[in-house]
Structure 1
Amino acid sequence: MRTKLATYSAGILALAAAVIWAFPVYWMLNSSLLPNTTLQSTTPHFLPLGGSFDNFKAVLADGGFVRALGVSLTVTLATVLVCLVVAFLGALAISRFRFRGRKSFILALLLIQMLPAEGMFIAQYKMFSSLNMLNSVIGLTVLYAAAVVPFTIWMLRGFVAGVPVELEEAAMVDGLSRTQAFLRITFPLLAPGLVASGVYAFLQAWNEFTVALVVMTEEQSKTLPLWLRSFIQASATRETDWGMVMAASTLVAVPVIIFFLLVQSRMSSGLVGGAVKG
């Protein structure tokens, strides 16, 4: 009896926590469908009765959104690709091979994570200014990849170490080369780790604001977080249209939701799989 009561209580608490967590997202979506006059009233409207997609149409009519969306997608996808390739090779090297300076390299990965990003802004700005890479998609991708790769290597290292090297050796005994054994046996087993690392890199690049604010100063090079900030500031110069602001925020979140739907089948196992062996 006590066990069932404890189970029901835990379930109720979990449900309450889920509702509290999800409510801001629902409120953003609900507000994006309501006109500004309704949102400014003192009576809260928890259902979008009488709502429309006018706010979304107004945001999409802003040419800056489409331009910023293109910049963000390009930078984010390029960052994910670079991080997965570089981090995968790095994780493979420190997990499968023993070389001079290996431990120092692993220690450097941990120390790099302790460096505050804000402390490098001036140096990054001056370096990229001298290289004429300010307001450049390539320049921003390099900065994002440099920030994400160390942790991604550390994450993938656990996945690579968790796959026994004996599997490759057995495949080589059966006649496969080392490369063929790795591609056919080991690489498919690392898919959850690559997905988890890709999710991390995607979120870091998509949501990043401060680095982009420093190096992407021109209007046509703004990412979506920068565009959203400018959109809110422009709205604040007149009476703030919270319906349009919420619609803009919803549109910024849509690519993240789509990405999660595409990878969610492998994401759960990927987030915990790397803890099998370090």
Structure 2
Amino acid sequence: MSRSDTASTTAPLSLVRQRGRARPGRATRSLLGALGVVLALVWVFPVYWMVNSSLLPTVVLERRTPTLLPFGGSFANFEAVFSDGSFLRALGMSLSIALITVLVCIVFAFFAALALSRFRFRGRRSFVLAVLFIQMLPAEGMFIAQYKLMGSIGLLNTVVGVSIVYIAAVVPFTIWMLRGFVAGVPADLEEAAMVDGLSRTQAFMRITFPLLAPGLIASGVYAFLQAWNEFTVALVLLDADGQTLPLWLRGFIQQSANRAIDWGQVMAASTLVAIPVIVFFVFVQGRMTSGMVSGAVKG
């Protein structure tokens, strides 16, 4: 065997050895897996405790010994929450505002991100800087202006008025988020499809748009969470007749405090507020994961 043949055989062997050394051992993987499980339990425990407490009466919750399993529990706390019907009205209000915010934000942010990533026009850099500058403005400093603006056009205490303010607050960040996804998809893919006979619109819809699925879903999740959990703007623009779920939950706790706080009912109300977010994420997370995998661009 010649010297060159020996060198060619030893080189792959050295690469294999280096790869084998780089891989963590079974003990290390087991330790990391156990650490991940512990961290997951720490994150999940507050949610479990909320749901567990919602099934127990206040007498049990006030004992010195905590009850970790809801044996002997019931849905009486949930029945008490549903009894006056205000929860369903607040749920409809929050869902309407959140859906309007998500749809409008995705449409506006999508076209803005395409313009910023695919075209070169005068004022492009200034527009990007303006988007970043808007994110630096404190929301509390605009409450008075927002209240007067919505009042002057007759949109106080309305779903449309609150949605407009939420959209104005969420769109800048969603533009910035989607801009990164659009910039990560090479324009050469569309050009190659156009060479094969597709029009620009067909190339975009068949090639680029599916690769942007993870960005659209991530932006939608962000917009939904912002609209669903927002409290201060809704407190300024809405009255007692029309409340979102965060406002309703605050009022529910205050009513409970007037007769000594019923923690079982409070936990049941908190669980009901959290359930739509959990259901939304369960349906979306699979599409987000598959979109991230299908959106990988191979060289």
Q: Aligning the two structures, in what range does the TM-score lie when normalised by the shorter sequence?
A: over 0.9
Query: Which amino acid is 1:95 matched to?
Result: S
Determine the C-alpha separation between the residues in 1 that align with 2:238 and 2:208: 40
How many residues end up aligned between the 2 structures? Answer: 274
In structure 2, the CA distance between the partners of 1:176 and 1:4, relative to structure 1 (3 Å rule), is closer
Determine the C-alpha separation between the residues in 2 that align with 1:48 and 1:268: 34
Give the unaligned 5+ runs of structure 1: none
Determine the C-alpha separation between the residues in 1 that align with 2:202 and 2:291: 24
Identical residues among aligned pairs (%): 69
Can you list the C-alpha shifts for 1:187-206, whole angstroms capped at 9, x where unaligned?
Answer: 11111110011000010000
Alpha carbon RMSD of aligned pairs, Å?
Answer: 2.0
Which residue number in structure 2 is paired with residue 183 of structure 1? Answer: 205
Secondary structure, aligned partner of 1:100: coil
Which residue number in structure 1 is paired with residue 157 of structure 2? Answer: 135
Which residue number in structure 2 is paired with residue 211 of structure 1? Answer: 233
Determine the C-alpha separation between the residues in 2 that align with 1:264 and 1:223: 25
Shift of 1:126: 1.3
Tell me if 1:237 matches 2:258: yes
Secondary structure, aligned partner of 2:175: helix
Determine the C-alpha separation between the residues in 2 that align with 1:6 and 1:183: 45
Q: What are the within-5 Å matches in structure 2 for residues 46-195 of structure 1?
A: 46-195=68-217
Secondary structure, aligned partner of 1:220: coil
Determine the C-alpha separation between the residues in 1 that align with 2:142 and 2:114: 29
CA contact 1:158–1:275 (8 Å) conserved in 2? no
In structure 2, the CA distance between the partners of 1:273 and 1:193, relative to structure 1 (3 Å rule), is farther
Tell me if 1:18 matches 2:40: yes
Which residue number in structure 2 is paired with residue 247 of structure 1? Answer: 268
Give the unaligned 5+ runs of structure 2: 1-23
Shift of 1:20: 1.4
Shift of 1:238: 0.4
Runs (4+) of structure 1 exceeding 6 A deviation are 269-276
Which residue number in structure 2 is paired with residue 197 of structure 1? Answer: 219
Determine the C-alpha separation between the residues in 2 that align with 1:121 and 1:129: 12
Query: Which amino acid is 1:116 matched to?
Result: P
Shift of 1:220: 2.3
